[in-house]
């Protein structure tokens, strides 16, 4: 059952914003510094939702246990921060949705594992003003733990059951379910391919951002994508 919401929360990378072009560019700049050639964008895109750890894993075959990991991770973040909003934009349909939510005074927000410094710079660059933003380094535990979503619900002064959480990674759905929020998995995101989206346990799976507006307009959202 997908009840009508009083607020909507979004994951950031791969759900609200298409950050893959700028993150892929930073990874390829780092590879160039390491004497490696560029990776194809299509090989990088599915891993963007896994952040610096995932991108360094596929781009440099390095894990957090490696002696040089911390230095390379910081260098990647520095390269990304230098050009983090060159090609990044809202996914098609989401600008109109955000305007619609603001027009009806329905709060919307962001819950992401992205570091706070990068998240707020990116939102500022795109002139987005969510009602609440919870970042990956703000609490002791990030997604897939439910803590960030519960924290966001507290800031909104709403019960979790009255908030939709929309994401493009299984950790988003795990966190949302654990917080007892209705969860929506979006096919337009980066989808790392570890498990089919239908197996994540989301309350609903949708194909396009435009489908969110349709769900908000129907009296029974569950029937809209039966």
Average pLDDT per block of 10 residues along the chain, 226 residues long? 92 97 98 97 94 95 95 97 97 96 96 96 97 97 98 98 97 98 97 89 96 80 44
Active-site residue, 13 included: yes
Q: What is the pLDDT, as a whole number, of residue 224?
A: 41
pTM: 0.93
Nearest to 197 by CA among 187, 210, 207: 187
User: Concatenated DSSP letters for 101-168?
Assistant: HHHTT--EEEE-SS-HHHHHHHHHHTT---SEEE-TTTSS--TTSSHHHHHHHHHHT--GGGEEEEES
Query: Domain residue spans in the chain?
Result: 7-18+88-224, 20-82
Cα 158 to Cα 142: distance, rounded to the nearest angstrom: 20
**Domain 7-18+88-224's class?**
alpha beta
The answer to whether residue 11 is catalytic is: yes
């Amino acid at each position: 059952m997908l009840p009508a919401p009083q607020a909507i929360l979004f994951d950031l990378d791969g759900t609200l914003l298409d950050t893959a072009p700028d993150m892929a560019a930073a990874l390829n700049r780092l590879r160039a510094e390491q004497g490696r050639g560029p990776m194809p964008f299509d090989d990088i895109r599915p891993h963007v939702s896994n952040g610096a750890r995932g991108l360094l894993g596929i781009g440099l075959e390095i894990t957090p246990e490696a002696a040089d990991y911390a230095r390379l991770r910081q260098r990647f973040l520095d390269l990304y921060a230098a050009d983090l909003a060159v090609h990044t934009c809202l996914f098609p349909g989401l600008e109109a949705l955000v305007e619609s939510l603001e027009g009806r005074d329905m709060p919307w927000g962001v819950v992401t594992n992205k570091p706070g410094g990068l998240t707020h710079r990116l939102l500022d660059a795109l002139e987005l003003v969510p009602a609440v933003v919870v970042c990956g380094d703000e609490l002791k535990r990030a997604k897939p733990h439910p803590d960030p979503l519960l924290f966001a619900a507290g800031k909104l002064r709403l019960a979790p059951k009255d908030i939709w959480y929309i994401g493009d990674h299984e950790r988003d759905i795990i966190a949302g379910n654990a917080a007892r929020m209705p969860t929506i998995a979006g096919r337009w995101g980066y989808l790392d391919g570890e498990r089919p989206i239908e197996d994540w346990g989301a309350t609903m799976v949708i194909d396009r951002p435009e489908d969110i507006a349709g769900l908000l307009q129907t009296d029974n959202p569950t029937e809209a994508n039966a």
